[in-house]
Amino acid sequence: MRAALVLQEVWTGLRRNMSMVVSVILVTFISLTFVGAAMLLQGQINQMKGFWYDRAQVAVYFCNEGDVGPNCTGEATQEQIDEVTATLETDAIAPFVQTVEFEDRAQAFENFKDQFEGTQAAEFATEESMSQALRVQPQSPQDASIVAEATSSLPGVLEVQDQRRLLEPIFQALNTASLVAVSVAVIMLVAAVLLISTTIRLSAFSRQRELGIMRLVGASNRFIQTPFILEGVISALIGSVLASGAVLALVQWGVQGYLAPLLPTYPLVGIDATLLVIPVLLAIGVLLSGVAAAVAIRRYLRV
Residue 5 is a binding residue for another protein (CB under 8 A): yes
CB of 292 to another protein, least distance (A): 21
Residue 242, Cα to own-chain centre: how many angstroms? 21
CB of 212 to another protein, least distance (A): 7
Radius of gyration of the chain (CA): 31
What is the 3-class SS of 110-137, one letter each residue? HHHHHHCCCCHHHHHCCHHHCCCEEEEE
Residue 1 is a binding residue for another protein (CB under 8 A): yes
Residue 1 or residue 262: which is nearer to another protein going by CB? 1
Q: Which of 220, 254, 267, 287 binds another protein (CB under 8 A)?
A: 220
Q: How far apart are CA 267 and CA 44, in angstroms?
A: 8
Q: Which of 122, 177, 219, 291 binds another protein (CB under 8 A)?
A: 219
Q: How far apart are CA 202 and CA 269, in angstroms?
A: 42
Residue 216 is a binding residue for another protein (CB under 8 A): yes
DSSP state of 76: P
Residues 6+ positions from 260 with CB-CB distance below 8 Å = 268
Residue 5 or residue 271: which is nearer to another protein going by CB? 5
Residue 3 is a binding residue for another protein (CB under 8 A): no
Residue 303 is a binding residue for another protein (CB under 8 A): yes
Site string for another protein, 59-98 (x = CB under 8 A): ----------------------------------------
Residue 215 is a binding residue for another protein (CB under 8 A): yes
DSSP per residue, 268-302: ---HHHHHHHHHHHHHHHHHHHHHHHHHHHHTTS-
> Contact residues for another protein (CB under 8 A)?
1-2, 5, 209-210, 212-221, 223, 302-303
